[in-house]
Amino acid sequence: MRLLITGATGFAGRHLTSYCAEQGHEVHALVRPGREGAVVPAATAHPADLRGGRGLARLVEGLAPDAVAHLAGASSVGSSFGDPLGTWEVNLGGTLAVLEALREAAPETRVLVVSSGEIHGRVPLEDLPVGPDTPLRPLSPYGASKGAADLAAAQYRAAYGLPALRVRAFNHVGPGQGPRFVLPNVARQIAQAEHDGRDAVEVRVGNVDTRRDFTDVRDMVRAYLLVIERGDPDTVYLACSGRSRPVRELIEGLAGLARIPVTFASDAGLRRAGEQPDLYGSPARLRDDTGWTPEIPIETTLADTLDWWRERVVAEDAE
C-alpha cells in the first residue's frame, strides 16, 4: 500500500511512519518546508503547506496514494488556551485542506482523520466510559477544534462519499514525546538530574490525581493502520485502553525506575481550572471491527520513555 502521512515528524507520526514501513508499505510524508530532514529514513518527504491551496491536490493527484493518514495538527490542550485562533487554523483548517484535496483529486482514497478523546470534554462520571455516541462538550480550543475536524470528516463522507475514517485517540504516551506533556516532562527532569550527577531530584507537577486513559503510542499507531485497512467509514472508533489511571500512578512508576531518589512538588501554575477529573473510553467497536487490543504494558512504556530521555539529554549535552 502507498500511504501518505501528514504530521509525519510529530510524536505519533514518526511512530506510524516507522511502523508502516516495517509492515512493508511504501510511506510518503507530508512535511512543512524545511522539515524534510526530520522524517524517518524509511519515508519519502514531500514539503508542502496545508494552507497552500491547490498545491496539496496536485501532490495527491501525482502521488496517487492508496490511503492518507492525517495526523498533522496542534496537540497541546494547555497551549491551545494561549493561541486559540492558531489552534483552530491548524486543526480544523488543516483537516479541511486535506479533505478538500482528496475530494478534488482522489475521492476514492481512504483517509484517516485522527481527533481526540478531549472532544467529549465534560462527561458526567456516571456516563463513563465514553462511547462513539457520547455528546461532544469540549472544554478547550484544542478539544473544540478537534471536534470540528471530526465533524468535517463525517460531513465529507455524508455529502461527497469520501471514505473518511474517524478515530478519536485518547492519551498516548511513550518514547519520543515532547516535554510539554506531563509524563515526558517528568522523565526529562529525572534523566537530566541523573546526567548532571545530582544526588536527588524534586520534580514539579500539576494535578496528579487526574485520571486519564493511557495507551502506548506504538499500540496506538498499530490501531491507526488497522483502521485504514479494515475500518468502516460510516462509523467512528475510539482508540483507548478502556480504563483510566491516575497521573500519580504513572509518575510514581517513573520515579521507581530512577537511579536517584525522586520527590514531587505541586505547582499551581501547572493546574487547569475546571479540568475533567476522569476520562476513559470504550474500544469495543475498534476491537470488534479490526481485532485491535493494546499489547504493551504500562511498565514497558514508562521504562522505554525514561530510557529515551536518558539518551536524549546525553545527545543534547554533546551538541
Total-model pTM: 0.94
Tell me, what's the pLDDT at 274? 64
Q: What are phi and psi of 317, to 5 degrees?
A: -65, -30
3-state secondary structure of 80: helix
Q: Where are the domains of the chain?
A: 2-173+214-239, 182-212+244-276+296-318
Span 141-180, pLDDT tens digits = 999 999 999 999 999 999 999 999 999 999 999 999 999 8
- Residue 125, CB half-sphere, CA atoms under 13 Å: how many? 8
- Could you write out the three-class secondary structure of 105-173? HCCCCEEEEEEEHHHHCCCCHHHCCECCCCCCCCCCHHHHHHHHHHHHHHHHHHHHCCCEEEEEECCEE
Q: Which option is the CATH number for 182-212+244-276+296-318: 3.90.25.10, 3.30.300.30, 3.40.50.1820, 3.40.50.720? A: 3.90.25.10
Q: Which option is the CATH number for 2-173+214-239: 3.30.1240.10, 1.10.3720.10, 3.40.50.300, 3.40.50.720? A: 3.40.50.720
Q: Cell for 152?
A: 468535517
Span 24-54, pLDDT tens digits = 999 999 988 888 888 999 899 998 887 766 7
Check if the beta carbon of residue 140 is closer than 8 Å to that of residue 76. no
Ranges under pLDDT 70 in the chain: 52-53, 267-274
| b/e code 42-78 from CB counts within 10 Å (16+ = b) | ebebbebebeeeeebbebbeebebebbbbbbbbbebe
- Helices then strands, counting H and E runs in the chain, come out as 11, 14
Q: Cell for 69?
A: 493518514
